[in-house]
Amino acid sequence: MLKITRQTDYGVMILTRFAQEGPGRIHNARDLAAETEVPLPTASKILKLLAREGLLISQRGVKGGYRLARSPEQITICEVVTAMEGPIAITECVEAAPGDCDKEPWCPVRSNWQLINNAVQSALEGITLARMARPFAFVSAGGSAVENRAAERKLFANQTESEPSEPNTAVAVEPHDGGASGD
């Protein structure tokens, strides 16, 4: 299963909170942790990382905190995942430089893994924080996977003409611990 780490999931949640409030609003770690129910030490760590990666701007002082570095429409989920986890690479050979794998000369699937990796990356590049900040209609928790996918297709098919940059596909990515502790 392809999964993002829990920390990355929290990072997306926190940045989505920024997008919901507007790009200029300053948030402090304590309030964001309370609003998102992310433990304060974890929220602080994520905020520092996102600031270091250029997605947030840190402001010092009594009324200091963090704000988005760009508008929510300009920050993609691909940027967030890359900031939190590094380059998107679903297999080692996609990430490796040519010649790093001893199976490369005869491997029949490397180019197809690259194609799949590019599709995942494109899907994540097509979703912005602004899109994440808008509610998503879910089928009830008891709905089947087929019903849920049908609801997703219907939702994306009904997007307005004012959203031409949004894709008509969805990628389901589940968070996982990634072996991290302390959350």
User: What is the tens place of the pLDDT at every residue in 66-79?
Assistant: 999 999 999 999 99
pTM exceeds 0.75, yes or no: no
- Give the residue from 152, 128, 117, 126 showing the smallest Cα distance to 20: 128
Q: Are 173 and 4 in contact (CB under 8 A)?
A: yes
Which residue has better confidence, 116 or 173?
116
Percent of the chain with pLDDT over 90: 50
Any idea which fold 3-174 has? Arc Repressor Mutant, subunit A (1.10.10)
Q: Long-range contact list for 166-173, CB < 8 A, 24+ apart?
A: 166/126, 166/127, 166/131, 167/122, 167/123, 167/126, 167/127, 169/123, 169/126, 170/123, 171/120, 171/123, 171/124, 173/2, 173/3, 173/4
Which residue has better confidence, 181 or 23?
23
pLDDT tens readout for residues 117-157: 999 999 999 999 999 998 765 555 556 556 666 665 665 55
For the chain, the domains span 3-174
Tell me how far the alpha carbon of residue 127 is from its chain's centroid: 9
Burial 5-31 (b: 16+ CB within 10 A, else e): bbbbbbbbbbbbbbbebebeebbebee
Q: Determine which of 27-41, 130-144, 153-167 has the lowest per-residue pLDDT on average.
A: 153-167
pLDDT at 65: 94
